[in-house]
Amino acid sequence: MSDILNHIEENPKETKRLIGMGHEQLQQLIYNAEKLHNEQQALLESQKVRIIAGGGGRKSKLSIKEQIILTLVYLRHLTTFQLLGIQFGVSESTANDTFNYWLPLLRELLPSSLIEQVKKNNLTMK
């Protein structure tokens, strides 16, 4: 478990400072995001033509909860993916891939103001 997720679970009152939403909101967001993720994975799986049985491949180092927290930490602090990777114990490219996977899913669940803030800052950073 990542240090940030561990800290949030031990100190739920500090959740708002770390990721910009209350602990109860975070729990609801994680529940809804996991549900949406599972629905999308099931849809993708149903459309595949498999020669080899599913279930192979490398398992993710981060749990779904940690992946969502990583994305929310980025949205809140706009840190580098290198630093996010260090904080969550993954590579910079894994942190980037994780963020880019979860952003469209969270876009459906989060208020647009948070997403627009990130898009605006990314456009000015280029």
CB 110 within 8 A of CB 54: no
Taking residues 79-96, what's their average pLDDT? 95
pLDDT at 124: 46
Residue 60 and residue 2: Cα distance in Å, rounded? Answer: 13
pLDDT at 114: 58
- In the predicted structure, residue 121 carries a pLDDT above the cut 80: no
pLDDT at 59: 84
Residue 19 and residue 6: Cα distance in Å, rounded? Answer: 14
pLDDT at 115: 58
| Alpha helix ranges (H) inside the chain | 3-10, 15-19, 23-47, 64-77, 81-88, 92-109, 112-125
- pTM of the predicted protein model: 0.80
- Average pLDDT of the chain, as a whole number: 85
Higher per-residue pLDDT: 126 or 98: 98
Residue 62 and residue 65: Cα distance in Å, rounded? Answer: 8
